[in-house]
Structure 1
Amino acid sequence: MIPSNPQNNQSAPGRAPVWQHELRQAFTRPHELLAFLGLDPATPALRAASLRDFPLRVPRGFAARMRKGDPRDPLFLQVWPAPQEDETAPGYVIDAVGDLHRVRGAGLIHKYRGRVLLVATGACAVHCRYCFRRHFPYSEQLAARERWAPALAEIAADPGIEEVILSGGDPLSLSDDKLAELVGALDAIPQLKRLRIHTRQPVVLPERIDERLLAWLDTTRLQTVFVLHANHARELDASVAEALQPLRRRGIPLLNQAVLLRGVNDDVESLATLSERLFECGVLPYYLHLLDRVQGAAHFDLPEPRAQELMRMLSSRLPGYLVPKLVREIAGEPAKTWINWQDGISPQAD
């Protein structure tokens, strides 16, 4: 088990944090990940995609949660560059959610009323193969440290913006010094009320929740919300549950966004177990996204009627607070689009 108590994640003075060391050890070569998992690289289904535009990256701790010798393991499928990625599928595009049409400045995306998204970094601890930003031009649209000023000025000049969403990539890929500086600058904008952090790192790299991170979180006046990303209950082992405890003790709301993925969680048992395990870890199921139709990810997609059927079964099995909202993001729409799955039933709303 990976130790995830913040006290155990500290490095000696002057040395890099433990999480950065773990990140440097991540798998980046397909044959090394296959060898670790005892999988035969000669298997046709395990031929790797080109990786030219979207390389492999898997933390070793996350790989350790995968079943050895199982090419259909739901965690493995999320990160393995399947050969279908190199195929062109009609209707699957580079900018699946219309981000590039809503960019206001360096890394600032304004889609929805009252809140803006700040692309703080292009780096992630893990490269999920269904990522809707796998083709995003991070080199052109990034609120890097030397380019924060224009984005912050845009936010300050718009009194209707009350919430900033830190995204990426994964914003927790930034060092704590940089994050503290950025959040301090956001603190100084009077109309801002909330800070939302969209991150997968506490799930795939629980060492990231350490004392340095908690220190700058303790200094902000902004109401802070963490939106995590887990798609399967086996992602949430004891190290993840332990890592989330300091956030819970600080009263920080923890929400989860999952993506409905073929072969990963496209059955009611997987979805129900995920919701229950999230709640055990102090996290509320928030959204279940239909796949964003990004080029290279068509093999993960499910028909909408199947998603609706799964939600009906899930609703009949779980209390209402454990049933996530089924949504799709449609480019140009003013909010997430809720997918109606209640026709013909009367789900409980307890």
Structure 2
Amino acid sequence: MIPVASTPLQQAQETRWQALWRQAVRDPRELLALLGLETQAQRISEAAARQFPLRVPRGFIARMRHGDPEDPLLRQVLPVLDEERVVAGFELDAVGDGAARRGGGVIHKYAGRALLIATGSCAINCRYCFRRHYPYAQDTAAAAGWREAVARLREDASIHEVILSGGDPLSLADHKLAELTDALRAVPHIRRLRIHSRLPIVLPERVDAGLLDWLRGLPWPATLVVHANHSNEFDASVDAAMAKLRSIGITLLNQAVLLRGVNDSVAALATLCERGFEAGVLPYYLHQLDRVVGTAHFEVSDARALELHAGLSATLPGYLVPRLVREIAGQPGKTPLAQAASGTAAAV
């Protein structure tokens, strides 16, 4: 991810969420010390931390279990030696983003919708990130005041939905988001806006009056897809953020990634779906891991994933069961894992 620096003047003008973001922990040893896990320092990969630096907000750290080296939230963010393993089949671009780049931060894979790499910045660097090797410095929509990105969207009248992604689009200041959506208003064929963001989960203070004002003023129906992988990621502060978003009519969905050692049990997945629903968030996707270099230690086999999903379907009502999918480069949508495993593509 692109690192974020700020000047003293900017720091004086920053909002509370920006100040908390700037205070995020970036040293793996500091993270372990905060959790009473100094003896686990031998697990840290210095090479992985250089290639993809640690970044985790202190509020998210507060949800981790003190003294537990296997805490499911810690596992998602700590750079470990397993990331250095070279594993066949794991690539730099596992989902075909490169082939779908259209310039100006626009990625166009699926009919009717296009994705904007709004920024390369995130509030948290998740070790399983499928864009951990993405060339953000060369291709973000915020560059040049969004002009190239908006021009690309205007050229293709088949695009009815714009998806803001990154990085994390909500890491942008409210005025930058407003610049983009003000420009998009002039594109008549856009009907819907979707935002994919982890910030309301890892830094719920981002859902403040300024963000709500921006969302409230949008001319299109808006859906916010948040990203939580474990029920412990929800707490009272996240619940409050979700309530604010629901109060202005935002549709809230959750996407999760199936991760070994994090949520690879029926009990963990069921609790995640139920806890999210308590916060007003409906399960959307459960992604099979994208096979990106450095992430093999998170992989759950397809057979086990299907078994877990069947167990989840037998445990929860249908509306609380996310779709189990894999992204296959070149396919026109996410592919249900059952079809992917059998070799038949039925995109959703």
Same fold flag (TM > 0.5): yes
Alignment partner for residue 248 of structure 1, among 246, 249, 254? 246
Change (3 A) 1:43 1:181: closer
> Which of 262, 265, 273 pairs up with 2:263?
265
1:329 and 2:345 correspond:
no
RMSD: 1.4
Name the structure 1 match of 2:345: none
Amino acid at match of 1:236: F
Give the direction of change, closer, same or farther, for the CA distance of 1:305–1:126 in structure 2 (3 Å limit). Answer: same
Q: Distance in 1 between matches of 2:225 and 2:237?
A: 18
Report if the CA contact (8 A) 2:26-2:54 is conserved. Answer: yes
Instruction: Find out whether 1:71 has 2:69 as its counterpart.
Output: yes
Q: Does the CA contact (< 8 Å) of 1:124 and 1:170 recur in 2? A: yes
Hey, what does 2:105 align to over in structure 1? 107
**Superposition pairs for residues 294-333 of structure 1, below 5 Å?**
294-333=292-331
The whole-number CA distance in structure 1 between the counterparts of 2:39 and 2:168 is: 30
CA distance in 1, matches of 2:45, 2:138: 32
Residue pairs, 1:190-205, within 5 angstroms:
190-205=188-203
- Which residue of 1 is the match for residue 234 of structure 2? 236
Spell out the pairing of 1:201-220 with structure 2 (5 A cutoff).
201-220=199-218
| 1:280 and 2:275 aligned | no
d(CA) in 2 for partners of 1:189, 1:109: 17
Q: Which amino acid aligns with 1:140?
A: Q
1:162–1:73 distance in 2 versus 1, CA, 3 Å: same
Q: Larger % of helix: which?
A: 2
Query: Which string of whole-angstrom CA distances, capped at 9 and with x for unpartnered residues, describes residues 99-143 of structure 1?
Result: 000001111000000000000100000000000000000011111
Q: Deviation at 1:145?
A: 4.1
SS at match of 2:49: coil
Structure 2 unaligned spans of 5+: 1-11, 342-348
- Which has the higher mean CA deviation after the structures are superposed, 301-310 or 39-48? 39-48
Contact 2:104 2:148 in 1 (8 A): yes
User: How many equivalent pairs are there?
Assistant: 329
2:7 corresponds in structure 1 to: none
Are 1:128 and 2:126 counterparts? yes
1:188 to 186, 192, 196: 186
Contact 2:29–2:41 (8 Å) recurs in 1? no
TM-score scaled by length of structure 2: 0.92
- 2:259·2:300 contact (CA, 8 Å) conserved in 1? yes
5+ unaligned residues in a row in structure 1: which ranges?
Answer: 1-13, 344-350
Given that residues 28 and 44 in structure 2 are in contact (C-alpha distance below 8 angstroms), is that contact kept between their aligned partners in structure 1?
no
The one-letter code of the counterpart of 2:325 is V
* Whole-angstrom CA distance in 2 between matches of 1:322 and 1:302: 21
